[in-house]
Amino acid sequence: MVKKRNLQKIKFLVMALVIFSAMSINTFSAPKEVKKLEWKQISLEPDLDGDGIKDKIDVDYAVEGNNVHLKFTPYVFNEKAKFAKGKSVEKIITKTEFEAKFDTFIKGFIAEYPKKGGISSAQKQKTQTPKPEKKQEVTQPIKEIKTNETDKKPVSQKKNTNDSKGNPKNSQTIENKPTEISKQSNMEKAQSSIIEKEKKENELREKEPKETVEVPKNKNLPRGQYSYVKEFNAQRPKNLTFSFQYDKHSPKEMDEFVFVKTPTSIRKEPNSNAKAIKSAAYSHKYRTTGIVKTNTGKSDEWYEVFFDNQLGYIPKSAVEKREFDWNDMMRKVDKTNKFIKEAVSANKKIYVLDDYVPLGGGESGKRDKFGNRANQSEFGYTDKSFKDYINIPDRTIMVVEEENDKYVKVKIDAYDNGTYYLKPSTRRFLKDAGITSEITRFIYVDRASQNEMIIEKNGNSWNVVTSSFVTTGKDAGNSFATPYGTFLIAYSKPVMSYTGSGGGVVGDARYAVRFSGGGYMHGIPSVFEPKNTREQRKAATAKKIGTYPESHKCIRHYDDQIKFIYDWLGNSTPGHSEGLRVPNVPTVMLVK
């Protein structure tokens, strides 16, 4: 009886919570064979095989007229710490019968599922032996949990204890009665609300233009049994969709990951003596769910990673935490467009700093508070005394707040939305940016994580066009870090040539997009000679993409990735005498 009540409590609690949370999950495209249906999914976590450990049932459902189509797919957590997929069962329930039949079917599905002892719960009830046998049923799962606790996270259970009078008691069982009734009521409400929600969504959908964009959900990964120092579960922005136009190099489900900087092993438990389950080579990347403490009682910490449908642990000292920071990207997009809208509504012209001389660059100077050097930039002073300053890179967008024969006061969104003073001689470098409304295309570059995301406006939301790992500039010697800021893309060209010390062209990179000074987005660079090793040298350079900054200022891409971006930007200046292609619409790069 205790086991049965515990199972019911777990089932009702998890179902109620999961179904309620599923009410806000975005829809995704239906399978090809059922094109007209919009499928959604919820997940339940009952103990299917009777071993006292949580398993999983994915419930896919779609509403068609008066019918609710359902597909139940079981996953049993096995001895290898993996979910083993079972046979799916499909069912159709009418809306009027949904509330009662859904609950009945789930209970029966769990009860009839094959147990580890080779007999289902329903069969056990029919063949139950006298009371002494029942006591063994209660204690046996507790023993099994102890033997498997290193592989699987057990469902919490409490042993029976005696009160002061020697009578058996179980506080969990006693407290379950009112709680269980409450949870069941909530579950019923959640079930019926599925249909009500579908009705409202269908009404709204008829009024709105149809979209073909597929929106992936944030998937909740399994969690380990160890104490978390920090958990990672960032949620993607609600106004961002992921209908990639080019995804050959776009990592999926890698919003938060670790980059392996020192070769090591991924282990089954967070300690160096645990079994190694995978070799982690330099530059490998794994999705992470959090940082955990070692289970040896010491102070060292490990990253919990998810790969090959299983959890593993990797030493914190061997990796770096990185991310595809969709939320920061959208904050910067909104901030930039707010800056532009306010300027346009106040009839202020948007300017861009146009201070680029090919093969020039000026002094390197010291870094300012934003980390930018003076290379191919102008000083923006913090006040009229012209003492303290920041370096304003070429292609930075700004508005003029005030100007006279002593100074030009500008406001720059990228640099703390602050005001800076330019000397009158710098005024000639300010050119009309041609921006008269909000920006609808952005390129976001994260220098710390060595990646790039590209988005464009799609109605009232934004869509991810492509994403990829990249290589940014290294601040050392004659090289410069890719500048931080907000830059208006200048133009693109099919090839960027490299000159040698003698002035002649010695190498090139394909498909170059200029964003600031001599900083370009481009393909894999290489010198022409020796010809017989050029492809091998390019391949070696490509392998470094997504590792550490290494370029002279530019942003390196895989050749096919930058070719897609080059085409996506378009060409509003066909027939240009130098073959330069200005983007079809103003496009802004945000460098983090």
22-32 per-position pLDDT tens digit: 444 444 333 44
The question of whether 522 is a catalytic residue gets the answer yes
Rg (CA), the chain: 30
* Confidence label for 511 from pLDDT (cuts 50, 70 and 90): very high
CB 363 within 8 A of CB 369: no
Pick the more confident residue, 438 or 363. Answer: 438
* Confidence label for 219 from pLDDT (cuts 50, 70 and 90): low
Please state the rounded mean pLDDT for residues 587-592: 97
Q: Left if phi > 0, otherwise alpha if psi is -120 to 50, otherwise beta: which for 79?
A: alpha
Please provide the CATH number assigned to the domain covering 228-234+252-323: 2.30.30.40
pLDDT in tens, 288-329: 999 999 998 888 999 999 999 999 999 999 999 999 999 999
Question: Which residue of the set 249, 554, 557, 576 is catalytic?
Answer: 554
**For the chain, which residues make up each domain, given as ranges?**
1-14+37-112, 228-234+252-323, 328-432, 441-591
The question of whether 249 is a catalytic residue gets the answer no
* Confidence label for 213 from pLDDT (cuts 50, 70 and 90): very low
Helices (H), 212-322: none
pLDDT given at position 407: 97
The terminus-to-terminus CA distance of the chain in angstroms comes to 58
Q: Are strands 519-522 and 555-556 parallel, antiparallel or unpaired?
A: parallel
pLDDT given at position 70: 87
**Residue 422, pLDDT above cutoff 80:** yes
The pTM of this model reads 0.64
DSSP string, 403-428: E-SS-EEEEESTTTTEEEEE-GGGGG
DSSP string, 282-304: TT-EEEEEEEEE-TTSSS-EEEE
Pick the more confident residue, 178 or 370. Answer: 370
* Confidence label for 11 from pLDDT (cuts 50, 70 and 90): very low
- Candidates 114, 131, 125; CA nearest to 51 is 114
- Candidates 583, 516, 579; CA nearest to 552 is 516
* Confidence label for 485 from pLDDT (cuts 50, 70 and 90): very high
Q: How far apart are CA 118 and CA 130, in angstroms?
A: 20
Per the prediction, the chain carries an average pLDDT of 79
Report residue 427 CA to chain centroid gap: 42
CATH class of 441-591: mainly beta
pLDDT given at position 166: 37
pLDDT given at position 107: 80
Please state the rounded mean pLDDT for residues 32-36: 49
Local structure of residue 473 (DSSP, 8 states): B
pLDDT in tens, 93-128: 887 777 677 777 888 888 888 876 555 544 544 444
Angle, alpha carbons 312-313-319 (nearest 5°): 125
pLDDT given at position 530: 93
pLDDT given at position 149: 31
Please state the rounded mean pLDDT for residues 65-72: 84
pLDDT given at position 360: 53
Pick the more confident residue, 393 or 181. Answer: 393
The identity of residue 27, as a single letter, is T
pLDDT given at position 508: 95
Question: Which residue of the set 69, 249, 284, 522 is catalytic?
Answer: 522
pLDDT given at position 479: 86
Which of 220-234, 243-257, 516-530 has the weakest average pLDDT? Answer: 220-234
Contacts of 25 (CB under 8 A, 6+ apart): 40, 41, 217
pLDDT given at position 244: 97
pLDDT in tens, 426-436: 999 999 999 99
